[in-house]
Amino acid sequence: MTDPGHDEANETAPPSAAAQEPDESLRSMLRGALREEEPPPNVLAGVQKRIRERSKGKFYADGWSTAKHPPLNTYLITSLLMLAILVISYALLSPLVGSPVPVRNQPVPIQVIPR
Amino acid sequence: MADRRDVAAHPVYLAGGVADAEEQSERKFIERLAQRDERAFNELVELYEARVFRLLLRMLGRRDEAEDMAQEVFVQIFKAVSTFRGDSKLSTWIYRVSVNLCKNRMKYLARRHSEGEDELEPVAERAALDEAKGVTFGDVAQPDRLVEGYQIERVVQQCIAELDPDFREVLILRDLEDLSYEELSEITGLADGTVKSRLHRARSMLKANVERKMGEKIR
């Protein structure tokens, strides 16, 4: 039903007032067919990501995802920090760890009842 | 009746009326947008995302395409908002950007023949057209009516998809988005008479196509 042959010159004459009235049955059918039952998606995060990437981090910058080069200093500092936390944790917790208490497995003496 | 001086002392009236206050508020908002205020832009997206998505979904007929397109529309708005002169309402301008980008995408999709081409059931097996009024897939409780409602919806959806984008645009903006003829003129860039004429033709074409596919007249 595509009508590629329509030209604007033929369209300029507006239809009569009666013809401009919307056909309610048609409108109702349209609304029924094109009713959106699912809620619209949240596009904000996607828009921000696109703007961030296309502006090379100028807008909505997070300093990570759009940097031209990997942020080596950040990685290095984070790694050293994590290592320091591990060492401190070990130093604090290691004295609490003692050797296991030995278990003596000696047989219980048997008492013989005299006759 | 309130004292005229009291009314005039109200901050809204100081600006020259409610409409003026709204205009001023919009102008300030546009200024913030033009200055690339990210918070203002977030507000804009949250304010218009549902409307833009719904329009694009109706135009494109595919949810994934509409979501992708909606994101692209807002990116383009972010880029171009500094060129917005305020000749029309911000909402009208957003609609115009959406429609133009959407039509470009439709042309691209048409070239790639990526539109779905579901085969429909033979005409004789379909339900009467009266049942199409407001009947949707979700409304129908009985299984047989559910299939009928679904088929009618599919026919109407297919007929809309077959409309030329220029006709589809005015039909959706007027009959589904309830925009005024003036807004349609601003969005499409056409004269008022041309909009009315095109809308009339779009309705006639859609009606004729639905009737032809269903094999009966719409009453």
Which of A30, A42, A50 is opposite residue B156, by nearest beta carbon?
Answer: A30
- For residue A13, the distance in angstroms to the closest alpha carbon of chain B comes to 6
Predicted local distance difference test score (pLDDT) of residue B123: 42
State which amino acid sits at residue B82: S
Burial of residue B116 (CB within 10 Å: 0-12, 13-18, 19+) is exposed
Chain A positions touching B34 (Cβ under 8 A) are none
> Domain range spanning residue A83?
63-90
Average the pLDDT over A44-63 and give the result. 88
Summarised one tens digit per residue, pLDDT across range B135-181 is 454 554 555 665 666 777 888 888 998 999 999 999 999 999 999 99
Whether residue B57 lies within 8 A of chain A, CB to CB, comes out as: yes
**Lowest-confidence pick of A48-62, B34-48, B118-132:** B118-132
Is A54 a domain residue? no
- Is residue A3 left, alpha or beta, with left meaning phi > 0 and alpha meaning psi from -120 to 50? beta
pLDDT band with cut points at 50, 70 and 90 for residue B9: very low
- pLDDT at residue A71, as a whole number: 74
Q: Which domains, from first to last, does chain B contain?
A: 11-117 (1.10.1740.10), 118-219 (1.10.10.10)
Interface of B with A in 89-108 (CB under 8 A): none
Spatial distance between the Cα atoms of A55 and B75, rounded to a whole number of angstroms? 11
In a domain, A80, yes or no: yes
- Give pLDDT, residue A73: 86
pLDDT (tens digit per residue) in B81-139: 989 988 888 999 999 999 999 999 988 888 876 555 544 444 434 445 555 455 454 55
d(CA B97, CA A87): 58
- Position A12 scores a pLDDT of 58
Q: Are A30 and B173 in contact (CB under 8 A)?
A: no
Q: Is residue A77 part of a domain?
A: yes
- A52, part of any domain: no
* Residue B166 confidence (pLDDT): 92
Q: How confident is the model at residue B6 (pLDDT cuts 50, 70, 90)?
A: very low
Is B3 a residue whose pLDDT tops 50?
A: no
Q: What is the pLDDT of residues B197-209, one digit of tens each?
A: 999 999 999 989 9
Percent of chain A clearing pLDDT 70 (strictly above): 75
CB contact under 8 A, B78 and A47: yes
Q: Where residue B16 falls among pLDDT bands split at 50, 70, 90?
A: low
Return d(Cα B38, Cα B27) in angstroms, integer: 16
Round to whole Å and give the CA distance between B44 and B74: 9
Question: Can you tell me the mean pLDDT for A91-114?
Answer: 80
Reported as a pLDDT band with limits 50, 70 and 90, residue A51 is very high
Q: Which of A3, A12, A51 sits opposite B164 (nearest CB)?
A: A3
Instruction: Please report whether residue A102 resides in a domain.
Output: no
Q: Is residue A17 a part of any domain in this protein?
A: no
Torsion angle defined by CA atoms of residues A50, B92, B41 and A59, in that order, rounded to the nearest 10 degrees: 40
Q: Based on the structure, what is the number of domains in chain A?
A: 1
In chain B, what residues touch A18 (CB-CB under 8 Å)?
A: none
In a domain, A32, yes or no: no
The per-residue pLDDT for B124 is 39
Find out whether A15 and B200 touch, Cβ atoms under 8 Å: yes
Residue A10 is classified by DSSP as H
CB pairs under 8 A between A and B: 143
Check CB contact under 8 Å for A50 and B71: yes
Name the residue among B111, B210, B86 with its Cα closest to residue B165. Answer: B111
Whether residue A104 lies inside any domain: the answer is no
Is the Cβ pair B49, A12 closer than 8 Å?
no
The pLDDT of B50-76, averaged and rounded, is 94
Note whether A43 contacts B205, CB cutoff 8 Å: no
Helix, strand, coil percent content, chain B, rounded in steps of 5 = 75, 0, 25
How far apart CA A55 and CA B41 sit, in angstroms, is 15
Which ipTM was obtained for this model? 0.72
